[in-house]
Structure 1
């Protein structure tokens, strides 16, 4: 009774402290908190509670492909009344888990402060597949299901002896108490004293099932994916989407690297989060409606405002971020510049790439070589910028002088220099001259090396109505899937609506993203011959 009173007083103080300091932690804050818990290695917690109450990190692997949401219980978990977790701490040599993604639970003290519950029932030094009494085996009690005590095993030495007697078969191990601090510590010591390859394997804790019908009350603190394995990020994003749809809250996705130096095993990257697309769309809209004639440093506006996009075919025949062979032949990758005053209503292709502002820090900056006020038909040239004529040679430096030469042949235009003045001439011309059918402008970029998608300054992928037919949403999803399978990283997809009247030219919807195991390329509505001819003429 005295012990209960002391713990009650301690818990009261903990709740007051947590109630004062509690706030909605950001992703980086959650990662820092978990790394702190991972690094702390007390033998027990205040109130003589087991170490998991205030240190270490409780994680549970989540399989992909299940017909239920991650906080819901499988039939086997319902039958057991519990779910399996692993306990990660810096004094445990665990270097791998059973799944490549999963969820992180709050420690019990934090959960209690939030009106939630984490009920750890027993602890195995190794992963076990044991039935009976919440998966803790037979011999325990309703209050303390651990099975070791009934066998006279209450410390690490006793557990190791029993494990040897069972032929070192994990399926025959007994479970130690998670209620008694000394026995829980014994499970940690036994794991490390096993030695050899056993030490790098995960342990297992059984946690009582929670009410899956109220996901907001599940004490989940974050989602994670293992950086040493492939595919985990997409599973984590799918779970992040499902939790947000059910609760309106975004759980952070964390990177887990169990070989992390100095206890830094959890990390946060904004680009991993499914919700990053909202920020990207907001940033793109801001640039679209910024019509300043120059950048603050005096350079041409495309360095800091407007959006440079590259429409492209979406096909398994090539990877859409690579310059086409024709682009390399003519030393020019075709792109377009969209801005509120650029008078452009259709891109050439219904899907493609949206580049960051060209002054953004990047390991592979893009260079604008020249400009055309409308489709420059660069694919038909021997050189994208000099193959026809440069405007400086003809002294074309105004709307009037351009109209003098090209009013009846807009696709034969000379190439504009990428200067502040000529960008303004291009914009003025597009708001003066009646647009021809191929009315998008063409910005010619210096080709970048092949197969460097992770180094390209790309903000997002886009889909929308375009001159060429096709299922742009499916096309963008295929490119996104191809990028993920190539790099393990995420480019968000935004919907491009150049005719939008609500100020949302770029919009982001989580359900537009490829979160399935695979997203196939769309059925092409153009024949291979037509597509080839288009590239050869237009240079797209």
Structure 2
């Protein structure tokens, strides 16, 4: 938490002056630059169009960090999103049995300089978390554990999905545990291409440890991870990256830092509407649905649209 202390102090000061977010992926449904610029308005006080504009702003914000070496870019920029599927058997925002077992939930980091063309498992709907430095009061600050520049077969890994894959217990250790250490994009790329030549590039991949405990190493590790992904283009565009977040408790929708639901294709709208209805039924809060068609070439960019007709009653 060291890297968050300066922000929290500023946050409190700003707040005072202003007051003179069988399926093997999901859990069961219950019953079956300056710190001040990091503080985004809460969705409860924003229109759907404003939420879409805020998402696009962060998508296009390509800074290297959020103000210091201990504050990785994902704390204030980009989108932290998770693809899911609708079901009456589980709530999409509940951690899956696998996530409960290994301690990590997979998300995708999405930014204009780190594009992906699809979600994991080709899902076409899901939800977006607030970045930690914009999380509203009363919502969980869910720690980001590690980052795989492309899919790292993390479901089979321990330690929040960041540890060594059982098929490659040495080669797949976290990047800072490699011998020699992997601490630059070039080194990561070299290992990836070597592993790819043997057909084991996903299971033997190393992840960049960006836990809060990494402190002043965290921002550079995440930055080198993104740079490494760019070096293996188009692999990191065609195959989604894997950002692991610490598993949270089941059945606490009101505490989850949910910013928006989204869909990427027309086929995903019904799913996003299902999430919206269900979340409202549980919490009394309506989270906006945003249409985000993903770029299909590296020259394209994502767009962000709030459509009144997409919202449920």
Same fold (TM over 0.5): yes
Which consecutive residues of structure 2, in runs of 5 or more, have no partner in the other structure? 1-41, 166-172, 211-217
Please report how far the alpha carbon of residue 514 of structure 1 lies from its aligned counterpart in structure 2 after TM superposition. 1.6
Segments ≥4 residues shifted beyond 4 Å: 270-273, 500-504
SS at 2:269 equivalent: helix
Matched residue SS, 1:411: coil
For the residue of structure 2 that corresponds to 1:410, the secondary structure is: coil
Distance 2:270 2:176 in 1: 42
- Tell whether the 8 Å contact from 2:115 to 2:295 is kept in structure 1 after alignment: no
How far is the alpha carbon of 1:301 from its aligned partner? 0.5
Question: Given the alignment, which residue of 174, 177, 183 partners 1:390?
Answer: 174
Partner of 2:118: 346
Larger radius of gyration: 1
Shift of 1:382: 3.7
Q: Deviations over 1:297-352 (max 9, x none)?
A: 54100000111001112111100111111111011000010001113221222111
Equivalent in 236, 242, 256 of residue 442 of structure 1: 242
Q: Distance in 2 between matches of 1:369 and 1:392?
A: 13
From 219, 222, 226, the counterpart of 1:427: 226
- Equivalents in 2 of 1:272, 1:320: separation in Å? 21
Q: 1:410 aligns with which of 176, 201, 215?
A: 201
Q: Summarize deviations over 1:129-148 as a string: whole Å, max 9, x none.
A: xxxxxxxxxxxxxxxxxxxx
1:314 pairs with 2:71 = no
Where 2:251 maps in the other structure, the secondary structure is coil
Q: Is the 8 A contact 2:150 2:240 kept in 1?
A: yes
CA contact under 8 A between 1:352 and 1:461: conserved in structure 2? yes
2:256 to 456, 478, 486: 456
CA RMSD of aligned residues (A): 2.2
Q: Distance in 1 between matches of 2:53 and 2:247?
A: 28
Q: Which structure 1 segments of 5+ residues have no match?
A: 1-269, 516-540
Q: Confirm or deny that 1:304 pairs with 2:80.
A: no
* d(CA) in 2 for partners of 1:476, 1:505: 17
Matches of 1:272 and 1:444 in 2, distance apart?
Answer: 27
Q: Flag the structure with more relative contact order, 1 or 2, with Cα contacts below 8 A and sequence separation at least 6.
A: 2
Name the counterpart of 2:16: none
Question: Structure 1 404/503 Cα, relative in aligned 2: closer, same or farther at 3 Å?
Answer: closer
Q: How many Å apart are 1:387 and its aligned residue?
A: 3.2
- Once the two structures are TM-superposed, the CA of residue 362 in structure 1 deviates from its matched residue by 3.7
Q: CA deviation at 1:405?
A: 2.0
Q: Alignment partner for residue 355 of structure 1, among 104, 107, 129?
A: 129
* CA displacement at 1:498 relative to structure 2: 2.6
Give TM-score, length-normalised by structure 1: 0.42
Q: Does 1:380 align with 2:156?
A: yes
CA displacement 1:400-433 (0-9 Å, x = unmatched): 2123322114312111112211211122122221
Instruction: State the distance in 2 between where 1:336 and 1:420 align.
Output: 17
Taking a change above 3 Å as real, the CA distance of residues 271 and 442 of structure 1, as seen in their structure-2 partners, is: closer
Does 1:512 pair with 2:301?
no
1:329 aligns with 2:113: no
Give the distance between the partners of 1:502 and 1:343, measured in 2 at CA: 9
Deviation at 1:453, TM superposition (A): 1.0
**Residues 1:476 and 2:291 aligned together:** no
The CA distance in 2 between the partners of 1:438 and 1:316, in whole Å, is 31
1:379/1:502 CA distance change after superposition, 3 Å: closer
Q: Secondary structure at the residue paired with 1:359?
A: helix
Report the alpha carbon displacement of residue 434 of structure 1 after superposing the two structures with TM: 3.4
**Per-residue Cα deviation, 1:165-204 (whole angstroms, up to 9, x for no partner):** xxxxxxxxxxxxxxxxxxxxxxxxxxxxxxxxxxxxxxxx
Alignment of 1:125-144 (within 5 A): none
SS in 1 for 2:108: strand
Tell me the equivalent position of 1:368: 144
State the TM-score, normalizing by the size of structure 2.
Answer: 0.72
